[in-house]
Amino acid sequence: MTSGVDAKLLKSTKFPPEYSKKVDREKVNLEVMKQWISGQVIGILGNEDDVVIDFIFGMLEEERFPDPKKIQINLTGFLEKDTAAFCKQMWNLLLSAQTNPQGVPTELLEQKKEELRQQRAEAAKITEAQQRKREEEEQKDRSLNEIRDRERGERRRGGPPPERGGRDIYQPRLRHSASPVNRRRRSPEILASRPPPRREVSPPPRGGARRERFRERRETDTQEHQVWTFPVKVTLATAT
């Protein structure tokens, strides 16, 4: 492969400074790098070209310390204008991979972690949506069961089902009676047995004649009261 590289292109082409650093192939996990290389080639060419992918793998596995300048010159005929950017990005990943004990570039690890976080977030959203839907269905089932239980209870008691509006259509409305409240009627005997209301006795007037008239009026009131109360006393005595 070295013999096929044009020495003039190596001298005339300007390479990035990262190419001055060497990469130890044995410290790199090439399986992870192969997945990245395949994805990049498919993105550039628009299809999965196995010839180009295997050609890149062969150049990386040919020597323990690959030459990035030769790789870029050999890929120019396949990737054309995207060759320089692809080779520079691949070489930076190889430099990062050899410093990692796992041989995996740090950028790819972070990218993989981000993908896992997004997958977990999507899974959490799906689980939450399913849980919410399940709770809504359970709430709907509980509401239907309550309605059925209430209707069964009404049928057991012999009552009609309630109206949708909330009031039982078969329940009579309460009417306010306009008739007066029944009062206790008293018999004439009870009313006759009661003494007449006593008139208020004014204080005795001053003077002899006035005092005498007051005494006579008071005696008259007392006699009338005794006449009214006499039948009651006789009745009570007879009853006893």
Q: What is the pLDDT of residue 118?
A: 87
pLDDT in tens, 58-113: 999 888 999 999 999 999 889 889 999 999 999 999 999 999 888 888 888 888 88
Contact 107, 81 (CB under 8 A): no
pLDDT-derived band at 191, boundaries 50, 70, 90: low
| Residue 89, token pair as written in the block | 């990005």
Give pLDDT, residue 111: 83
Q: How far is CA 80 from CA 7, 41, 48, 76, 218, in A?
A: 19, 12, 16, 5, 145
Record the pTM: 0.49
d(CA 118, CA 124): 10
Per-residue pLDDT tens for 18-47?
Answer: 999 999 989 998 888 998 999 999 999 988
Neighbours of 68 (CB within 10 A): 22
Residue 136 corresponds to which tokens in the numbers above? 């809504």
Average pLDDT value for the chain: 76
Q: 21-25, 164-168, 175-179, 201-205 — which one is most confidently predicted on average?
A: 21-25
Q: Which fold has domain 7-104?
A: PWI domain (1.20.1390)
Q: Residue 218: in which H helix or E strand, if any?
A: helix 208-239
Task: Give 195 or 177, the one with higher predicted confidence.
Answer: 195
**pLDDT at residue 55 in the model:** 92
107 or 161: whose pLDDT is higher?
A: 107
Binned at pLDDT 50, 70 and 90, residue 223 comes out as: low
Q: Does pLDDT of 186 surpass 50?
A: yes
pLDDT digits (tens, 9 = 90+) for 111-143: 888 888 888 888 888 988 998 899 999 999 989
Nearest to 56 by CA among 36, 28, 81: 36
